[in-house]
Structure 1
Amino acid sequence: MFGSPTIMITTPDACKQVLMDDEHFVTGWPKATLELIGKKSFIGISHEEHKRLRRLTSTPINGYEALNTYLHFIDESVVSTLEKWAVMGEFEFLTELRRLTFRIIMKIFLNKESDVITESLERVYTDLNYGVRAMAINFPGFAYQKALKARKRLVEVLQTVLDERRVASRTCSNPTAKDMVDNLMEIVDENGRKLTDEEIIDVLIMYLNAGHESSGHITMWATVFLQENPEIFKRAKAEQEEIRRNRLPTQEGLTLKEVRKMEYLSQVIDETLRLVNISFVSFRKATTDVFINGYIIPKDWRVMLWYRSVHMDPEVYPDPKKFNPSRWDGPPPRAGSFLAFGAGSRLCPGNELAKLEISVFLHHFLLGYKLTRLNPECPVRYLPHPRPTDNCLARITKLSSS
């Protein structure tokens, strides 16, 4: 299925060893994922190239100043979106959440682009995602072929954006505020080298995809779990009310300092990430024969790290199927036992931005809204990401006391 002999790893210690050992393991994603996300993205490049690219791009996305800059737009977007949803009646909660998170990530990366480009990119990303975890069968009717066409469209749109930006930079005497695309085009490393268009496009495809898919799905599940567990909802809401009470009368919107005080809400998010496992698997390839737990992994064999098995291990997480944010009280779990954002040098570079988006949404939802699912017993589909088959058909109600 994955194009080479593959060994599955399901224990925390073994996962930790593979993820932390950049000498004996390199990235080893299957063909479909590599071709669709991009050979010049983080999942396709060598360890040295990855270090270089991560160093150049991570701070503008996950750094404190960057998060502080993005927070105001995220906060305003969530407030206005919840108000709109409260008068919509029935709608697909997950579908609308994905649109919200996509608008946010587009604002961060392509602030200057039109709503038409945003809408066109959002549509093709749906096709791309269905092919990322499919078998690489390039034949009509298969998800992979449809996803290849989606990637081609994404590359065309993003290349046009880069070309237009270059023309504008030469002709515009009064440039507007820079966004992530501008920063990526101007980045120069210590050797004076700039990123190529292929590198920029693959980085954009990767970030734009990860920046809305995971955030949208986890926000949906966290909201559902909170609504299904009244005592947990009550405790999380009390924390948000305390934050609101301590706010200065002149303050407009959330601050990063307030978000950092949402300790219980952070536990709710981590528990959702553990239970749902949006990124439930990762791949590495052995560069030489390696011993793990008394077994040998031969050179060039692929290693599939099964995160779901780690997150549902009853020895690590008692009663693992129960949604219990309080299990995160006390010291953090041992290395290798919580892999929602991966681990090691290839830890997800946008993890802080994702948690920020989810926290802001849940803050406002808890303070003033209620979710009512129309099909609470709806079956769950697990690929490409776990989701209700009805995309969480629901109503959002604004509470009169808000």
Structure 2
Amino acid sequence: MSPPAENQGAILVAMGEWGLAWWCALIFTATPLLALVLWHCTDVFHRAAFTLNPAHRGRRLPPGHMGIPVLGESAAMMWYFKVARRPDGFVEAKRKAYGEGSNIYRTHLFGSPAVIVCSPAANKFVLQSTDSFAGRWPMPELLGLTSLPNIEGRQHTRLRGCIVAAVNQPEPLRTFARMVQPRVEAALRTWADKGTIIAVPEMKKVMFGNICKTFISLDPSPFTEKMEKLFVGLVDGIMAFPLNIPGTASHHGLMCRRKLNAVFREELERRRAKKTTAATLGDRQQEDGDLMSRLMETQDEQGKKLSDDEVVDSIGSLVMAAYESTATAAMWASYHLAKSPDILAKLREETAAVRRANNGASSFITYDDISKLKYTAKVVEEAIRVTNFAPMVHRVALKDVEYEGYTIPEGWRVIVWLRSVHTDAKYFKDPLSFNPDRGSWDEPAKPGTYRPFGGGYRACAGNMMARLQITIMLYHLSLGCEWKLLNPNARTVYFPTPRPEDNAPMAFSRLCTSM
């Protein structure tokens, strides 16, 4: 005999509620267990693979954790950089969990098992051990497969020598100083006429224009504005997780890189055709004399020139590195000076003295004047330190490497965490504050504690040009302009490069009639 219809409905409701409760209990119980399994399986797998290798008998991996499958600890790193906005928290959490020890930790970042090193001694060991570590960025195609960051041996030595000779020696630096100062002054006049500027894009526009003119003889135009947007996409891709599928920053960065390569290849072919025509006509004054021309003419000991791929890859990576880091540091220098009137006053006193020493004959300074700007140099170095435009550099272990009782396995990524040293109170008192008067700049930094341009044979080949650009910008800003932050309490965005959240709007005006 069936129960009444109303009882059947009640039974079905009760069964439905019981089933829902059962599924909820299963989900809430199974999900944490599954997460726990996933959290440990990657670490267990890599530790087992290491331990079972007979060559690793008696050896041990650095302390740490490999994170979840595929992503590793990339999500955790991005959380500290993008959400918590505490970029130092990622390494601090490891130190808290595993102890400072030798400041070497295992992890899984940028799609690869990796070791982080984050002390002056460990950083120096990796950067200078040329027989144990090679340059290897997460997605080499973004920087150019044959560009300076991705090549080794004699090929690297040849290309680096060409670049250093072209941009980091006194004569090209003198030429650079003469060339960019009229452009800087013109930009500052434009800013003053506007009255209000957004500092981040404006500073990038100036620095990008300087580099385009110096490296590839291009003046500002709608074409160079499009190029700059492509470089922005390229920078975003370099810092992202290396996943080449549509919709990801890495994929967009690769598309930007291919478009830039097409631009540079077209320019290379135009120059080659121009040279051929000039040679036919007997004209020997056809070379542009810029970095791209020098790269095209570079020869090794056997008289072999760089290939087209090498020239194109190199010029793209050099333009990106030269303008992005310099613009970021110069913007932060002006930002901190706006909040530090005492420091700005000392800077102005020094730059005014140099101008008076030149009898006011010109508003420009020469490369030889730079050595007189002692306090300005401190401001520049402090701005570079607090900016940390390159928080890390990438290497790969060419063989099993022993360090401080731990083994760095062959083929593992090695991430030299430069930022952690620049923001460590052991080396810089009150490290997150902007203070050019700190004693650190009155004497050479302790070995390994100040490496904004990397180190070893892969140290930035254009570091002096970067410093020169920032110095020139501060010289003309201090003598000719007044600026005030409209939102001095804006939060900082740290990814892909550090900047104020609102891009630093400023009230901007002329300080004197000399501009």
TM-score normalised according to structure 2 size: 0.75
| Farther-moved stretch of structure 1 (42-51 vs 210-219) | 42-51
Contact 1:25/1:285 (<8 A) preserved: yes
1:367 aligned to 2:479? Answer: yes
Q: Distance in 2 between matches of 1:47 and 1:370?
A: 49
Of 464, 472, 477, which aligns to 1:352?
Answer: 464
Q: Give the whole-Å Cα distance in 2 for the aligned partners of 1:57 and 1:321.
A: 33
Q: Which amino acid aligns with 2:211?
A: I
- In structure 2, the residue matched to 1:240 is 351
Deviation at 1:400, TM superposition (A): 4.0
CA contact (8 A) 1:7 1:304 kept: yes
Distance in 2 (alpha carbons) for counterparts of 1:304 and 1:131: 18
User: What's 1:218 paired with?
Assistant: 329
Deviation at 1:114, TM superposition (A): 7.4
Q: Does 1:134 find its partner at 2:134?
A: no
SS in structure 2 at match of 1:146: helix
Question: Which residue does the alignment assign to 1:307?
Answer: 418
| 1:77 and 2:176 are equivalent in the alignment | no
Q: What one-letter code is carried by the residue in structure 2 that aligns with 1:306?
A: W
Q: Per-residue deviation at 1:291?
A: 2.2
Q: 1:182 aligns with which of 283, 288, 293?
A: 293
In 2: Cα distance, 1:4 partner to 1:233 partner: 45
Q: Which residue of 2 aligns with 1:105?
A: 211
Q: How does 1:25-64 map to 2 (within 5 A)?
A: 25-31=133-139, 34-64=140-170
Give the match for residue 275 of structure 1: 386
1: distance between equivalents of 2:442 and 2:218? 44
Pick 1 or 2: higher relative contact order, CA cutoff 8 A, min separation 6: 1
Query: 2:302 is paired with a residue of what secondary structure?
Result: coil
Deviation (angstroms), 1:57: 2.1
Match of 1:316 in 2: 427
* 2:121 paired with 1:13: yes
Structure 1 position 145 matched with structure 2 position 251: yes
Change (3 A) 1:323 1:73: same
Amino acid at match of 2:452: A
Partner Cα separation in structure 2 for residue 164 and residue 256 of structure 1: 33
The answer as to whether partners of 1:381 and 1:389 remain within 8 angstroms in 2 is yes
CA distance in structure 2 between the aligned counterparts of 1:114 and 1:188, rounded to whole angstroms: 31
Match of 2:397 among 281, 286, 291: 286
Higher deviation after alignment, 350-359 or 86-95: 86-95
Partner of 2:63: none
Question: Partners in 1 of 2:250 and 2:212 — Cα distance?
Answer: 25
Measure the CA separation in 1 of the matches of 2:116 and 2:414. 6
Q: CA deviation at 1:296?
A: 2.1
Distance in 1, Cα, partners of 2:219 & 2:510: 32
CA change 1:345–1:390 in 2 (3 A) is same
CA distance in 2, matches of 1:111, 1:389: 33
SS of equivalent to 1:58 = helix
Residue of structure 2 equivalent to 1:24? 132
CA displacement 1:63-122 (0-9 Å, x = unmatched): 110000111111111111101100113321110111111111111111157734322211
Structure 1: which 4+ aligned runs deviate by more than 6 Å? Answer: none
Q: Is the 8 A contact 2:322 2:462 kept in 1?
A: yes
Q: 1:138 deviation in Å?
A: 2.1
8 Å contact from structure 1 (residues 56, 189) kept in 2:
no
CA RMSD of aligned residues (A): 1.6
Question: Do the aligned partners of 1:224 and 1:371 also contact (CA within 8 Å) in 2?
Answer: no
Give the aligned partner of residue 509 of structure 2: 397
Larger radius of gyration: 2
SS, match of residue 325 in structure 1: coil
Higher deviation after alignment, 370-379 or 51-60: 370-379
Q: What SS is found at the alignment partner of 1:103? A: helix
TM-score by length of 1: 0.95
Look up the equivalent residue of 1:311 and give its one-letter code. Answer: H
Q: How far off is 1:252 after superposition?
A: 6.0
For residues 47 and 380 of structure 1, the distance between their equivalents in structure 2, rounded to whole angstroms, comes to 40
* C-alpha contact (below 8 Å) 1:41/1:199 kept by paired residues: yes
Q: 1:280-337: per-residue Cα shift (whole Å, max 9, x none)?
A: 1011111222222332212222111111111111111122122111223432112211
In 2, distance between residues paired with 1:335 and 1:397? Answer: 42
1:28-57 Cα distance to aligned partner (Å, 9 max, x none): 2212xx111111111111133211210122
1:2 to 1:112, Cα distance in 2 relative to 1, 3 A: closer
Q: Assess, with a 3 A threshold, how the Cα gap between structure 1 residues 169 and 395 changes in structure 2: closer, same or farther.
A: same
**How many equivalent residue pairs?**
400
- Which of the residues 276, 297, 304 maps onto 2:408? 297
Query: Secondary structure of 1:43's match?
Result: helix
Amino acid paired to 1:259: I
Offset, 1:361: 0.6
Report deviation, 1:26.
Answer: 0.9
Q: Find out whether 1:117 has 2:223 as its counterpart.
A: yes
Contact conserved, 1:158 with 1:201, CA < 8 A, in 2? yes
Offset of residue 358 of structure 1: 0.5
SS of residue paired to 1:5: strand
In 2, the alpha carbon distance for the partners of 1:74 and 1:214 equals 17
1:378 is aligned, of 478, 490, 498, to 490
Q: Per-residue CA shift, 1:161-193, capped at 9, x if unaligned?
A: 011111111113444442222221111121111
Alignment gaps of 5+ in structure 2: 1-108
Quote how far apart the aligned CAs of 1:195 are. Answer: 0.3
Contact 1:37 1:202 in 2 (8 A): yes
Contact 1:5–1:301 under 8 Å retained in 2: yes
